[in-house]
């Protein structure tokens, strides 16, 4: 499996390909908008003419796309990945999608004679570039063993959690925690600020305390208007929270803090903030508290 294919070269997918190229892997890639992949071609990536062409050429093909609909678009049809798979090939989807849709896709891959892993990641561009990304993997153990060395070139922490669909389930469970933590952090800062403590001081205390997860630390600058880069926007986060709520209903698990956080993301959309990083939850809550969240 020396030839690696990669479909979906957005912010995360493109950086993953960059790491694979740096590790010495030959990569053939495809993206819906070719111009977004030019920088990778300059670094040595080959261009594939379609998702099918990528899968036909490569023994191991990855996808990293936005949602279930985008995944179906690149895997189905005459030019899709499924049409290019066959015996001995391995397909790895790193997208965060519905667990049921992922399992259904795995069944179709198996009927084609190939094998599939779902391998979403826990982290962001910051952790990916910094070499600390975690990869969660679902699928059969033998296929995981074949692909694990390549996955470790993307992120050093790789955990196999069970059969197909279990990794995306685990990723959804992890991501709901990101949004809920951001909301709780925002509540703490605003409570301190409205009580007379400077916002900068409150952030310093909280990010030095036991509640300071890695996510809180690298999103704290948003609260202080020191960062405006969009690492994971409101729409993407709400997509994951809706998947969590749907799965919670399926398994009879109440998710009250997820539901409240989801409503505040809806408020962010109503305020025209859908394209901002989900750390904008702070600004939404600040407006409700009568505080100048943006300071601008």
* pLDDT score of 85 more than 90: yes
pLDDT attached to residue 295: 52
| DSSP annotation of 123 | S
Q: Are 183 and 279 in contact (CB under 8 A)?
A: no
Per-residue pLDDT averaged across 255-270, rounded?
A: 98
The 10s digit of each residue's pLDDT in 86-111 is 999 999 999 999 999 999 999 999 99
Whether pTM > 0.75 for this model: the answer is yes
Q: Using pLDDT thresholds of 50, 70 and 90, give the confidence band for residue 296.
A: very low
CA-based end-to-end distance of the chain: 52
Gap between the Cα atoms of 272 and 90, Å rounded = 41
The 10s digit of each residue's pLDDT in 3-15 is 999 999 998 999 9
Average pLDDT, the chain: 95
The 10s digit of each residue's pLDDT in 272-283 is 999 999 999 999
pLDDT attached to residue 229: 87
> Which residues of 139-209 form beta strands (DSSP E)?
157-162
Domains in the chain: ranges and CATH = 4-162 (3.40.50.720), 170-288 (1.10.1040.10)
pLDDT attached to residue 294: 59
Q: Are 64 and 94 in contact (CB under 8 A)?
A: yes
32 backbone dihedrals φ, ψ, rounded to 5°: -60, -40
pLDDT attached to residue 129: 84
Report in angstroms the alpha-carbon separations of 219 from 165, 195, 214, 229, 270.
Answer: 29, 23, 9, 10, 22
Angle at 155 between CA 183 and CA 137, to 5 degrees: 80
Query: Interhelix angle for 234-251 vs 256-270, to 10°?
Result: 150
């Amino acid at each position: 499996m020396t030839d690696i294919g990669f479909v979906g070269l957005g912010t995360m997918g493109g950086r993953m390909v960059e790491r694979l190229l740096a590790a010495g892997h030959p990569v053939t890639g495809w993206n819906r908008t070719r111009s977004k992949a030019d920088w990778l071609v300059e670094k040595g990536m080959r261009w594939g003419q379609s998702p099918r062409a990528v899968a036909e050429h490569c023994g191991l093909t990855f996808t990293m796309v936005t949602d279930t609909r985008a995944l179906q678009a690149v895997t189905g049809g005459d030019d899709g990945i499924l049409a290019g798979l066959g015996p001995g090939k391995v397909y790895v989807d790193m997208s965060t999608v519905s667990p049921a849709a992922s399992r259904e896709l795995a069944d179709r891959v198996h009927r084609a004679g190939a094998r599939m892993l779902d391998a979403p990641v826990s982290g962001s561009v910051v952790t990916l570039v910094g070499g600390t990304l975690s990869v969660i993997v679902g699928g059969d153990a033998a296929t995981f063993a074949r692909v694990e060395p390549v996955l470790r070139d993307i992120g050093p922490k790789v955990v196999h959690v069970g059969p197909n669909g279990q990794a995306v389930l685990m990723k959804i469970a992890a991501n709901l925690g990101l949004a809920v933590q951001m909301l709780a952090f925002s509540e703490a800062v605003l409570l301190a600020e409205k009580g007379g403590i400077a916002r900068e001081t409150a952030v310093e205390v909280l990010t030095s305390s036991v509640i300071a997860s890695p996510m809180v630390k690298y999103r704290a600058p948003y609260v202080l208007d020191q960062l405006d880069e969009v690492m994971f926007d409101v729409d993407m986060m709400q997509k994951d929270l809706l998947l969590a709520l749907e799965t919670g209903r399926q398994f009879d698990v109440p998710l009250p803090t997820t539901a409240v956080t989801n409503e505040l993301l809806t408020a962010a959309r109503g305020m025209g903030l859908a394209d901002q990083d989900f750390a904008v939850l702070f600004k939404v809550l600040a407006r409700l508290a009568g505080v100048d969240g943006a300071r601008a």
